[in-house]
Amino acid sequence: MAKSYYSTVLDHPADDVWAVIRPFDHYAWAGVEGETVIEHGKAGDQVGAVRRVTNGGNTLRQVLLAHSDVDRSYSYAFCGAPPFPVRDYAATIRVVPVAADGRSFIEWWATFDCAAEERDKWVKHFENEGFAKWLAALRRFMSDGAGRTRTGT
């Protein structure tokens, strides 16, 4: 199976990071332009919820497949065709404490199918143009204190 994987260390505690990324409808931390809403009034920690990310004329729809406060993780997939020529894309994000120093280790990965000759391209694409950028944005989001504010509520 094709698998993209990215991970990094963040300078904030895992519980603080989880508090920021935990709601499936809160996506501002990833630096993704546009508006994210959950359909049918569902909640951002409700399994089965569908989020709709609208950016200009483009709309993505993703469904929350699993969510865990124990593992500080959630999984999701595209509803309908994804905006890439891949199939069965399913992703998981997870954050774990670095016990030694109070920081956190965060992982983001996806599995998918695609044309054999495009496999390396898409594996790299999701890693470098997706997860790496969104986690860099999360790092800035946490450092700007937005993390603290949110977790303080």
Binding site for a second copy (CB under 8 A): 1-3, 5-9, 42-43, 45-48, 65-71, 75, 87-88, 90, 96-101, 103, 105, 107, 111-116, 119, 127, 132, 135
Name the residue nearer to a second copy (CB basis): 35 or 124.
124
Supply the minimum distance, in Å, between the C-beta of residue 11 and a second copy: 12
Supply the minimum distance, in Å, between the C-beta of residue 60 and a second copy: 19
Q: What angle do CA 50, 121, 35 make, to 5 degrees?
A: 30
Name the residue nearer to a second copy (CB basis): 53 or 135.
135
Residue with tokens 């993703």: 62
Name the residue nearer to a second copy (CB basis): 46 or 54.
46
- Pairing between β-strand 2-10 and β-strand 58-68 as defined by DSSP bridges: unpaired
Closest to 134 measured CA to CA, from 29, 13, 63? 29
The set of long-range contacts for 25-28, using a CB threshold of 8 Å and a minimum separation of 24, is 25/49, 25/51, 27/51, 27/53, 28/141
Supply the minimum distance, in Å, between the C-beta of residue 37 and a second copy: 17
